[in-house]
């Protein structure tokens, strides 16, 4: 139980840092990353906050991933719900300042992407499953048998185009985020000495099976007594 508790703490620290990083890239005020452009576009036409849109889009992606045969972890669901909640907490309370110039905006964006990498490291180390969007990338890679880089780039381009049509903000920061996010995440993983392949994820279906086994054992023990 102590080990599980530590993993849960890692999960939520990672999700909070991830949200901090996203808000920093938004408040860099130089244009949004592809997914954030899409979320902002939907927020503009629905009147919802970006955090709530993030949750709704994540929910739809999780359902789609399930249809594609991807396994879901508690971390997947937590990612879907709590990153959006943390984003709203940060943005609605103006806890992270908005950059007012090109240099400060670039510094904020780059710092945000690095913090996203740190957050990813924490929540992935917890071993409760990947986030909805990472799961989508994996699912489509399996189904199409195309290189993961091509699949990821295709998703980003389609999401960016959809966000643009919906009125999302584009700018130099969009290009910085599209080209730099992978590098900064990789840098954060290297600094924290994190190897993605070393993590064994536990999925919800495994916990359900374990719960059924425990209940069956309890019932059997009660009948024998």
Chain centroid to CA 135: how far?
A: 10
Q: Which of 101, 133, 113 is nearest to 174 (CA)?
A: 113
| Rounded-to-integer distance, Cα 30 and Cα 100, Å | 9
**pTM given for the model:** 0.86
What is the structure's pLDDT at 225?
Answer: 66
Write the pLDDT tens digit of every residue in 124-162.
889 898 889 888 887 888 888 888 668 877 888 899 899
What is the structure's pLDDT at 100?
Answer: 92
Mean pLDDT confidence for 169-182? 85
| Rounded-to-integer distance, Cα 119 and Cα 116, Å | 5
| Rounded-to-integer distance, Cα 145 and Cα 128, Å | 25
| Rounded-to-integer distance, Cα 103 and Cα 106, Å | 5
Longest dimension (CA), the chain: 74
Write the pLDDT tens digit of every residue in 20-59.
999 999 999 998 888 999 999 999 999 999 999 999 999 9
What is the structure's pLDDT at 196?
Answer: 72
Q: Which of 3-7, 136-140, 186-190 has the lowest mean pLDDT?
A: 136-140
Q: Alpha-carbon torsion 184, 22, 174, 28, what sign?
A: negative
Write the pLDDT tens digit of every residue in 53-101.
999 999 999 999 889 888 889 999 999 999 999 999 999 999 999 999 9
């Amino acid at each position: 139980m102590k080990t599980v508790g530590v993993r849960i703490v890692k999960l939520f620290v990672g999700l909070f840092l991830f949200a901090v990083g996203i808000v920093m890239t938004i408040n860099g005020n130089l244009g949004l990353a592809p997914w954030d452009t899409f979320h902002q576009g939907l927020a503009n036409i629905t009147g919802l906050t970006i955090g709530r849109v993030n949750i709704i889009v994540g929910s739809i992606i999780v359902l789609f991933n399930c249809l594609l045969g991807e396994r879901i972890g508690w971390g997947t669901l937590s990612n879907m719900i709590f990153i959006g909640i943390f984003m709203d907490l940060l943005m609605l309370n103006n806890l992270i300042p908005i950059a007012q110039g090109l240099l400060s905006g670039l510094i904020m964006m780059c710092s945000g992407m690095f913090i996203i990498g740190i957050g990813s490291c924490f929540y992935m180390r917890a071993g409760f499953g990947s986030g909805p969007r990472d799961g989508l990338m994996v699912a489509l890679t399996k189904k199409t048998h195309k290189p993961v880089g091509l699949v990821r780039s295709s998703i980003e381009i389609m999401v960016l185009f959809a966000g643009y049509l919906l009125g999302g903000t584009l700018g130099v920061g969009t290009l910085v985020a599209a080209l730099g996010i992978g590098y900064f995440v990789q840098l954060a993983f290297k600094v924290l000495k994190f190897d993605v392949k070393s993590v064994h994820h536990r999925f919800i279906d495994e916990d359900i099976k374990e719960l059924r086994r425990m209940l069956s054992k309890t019932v059997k023990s009660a009948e024998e007594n």
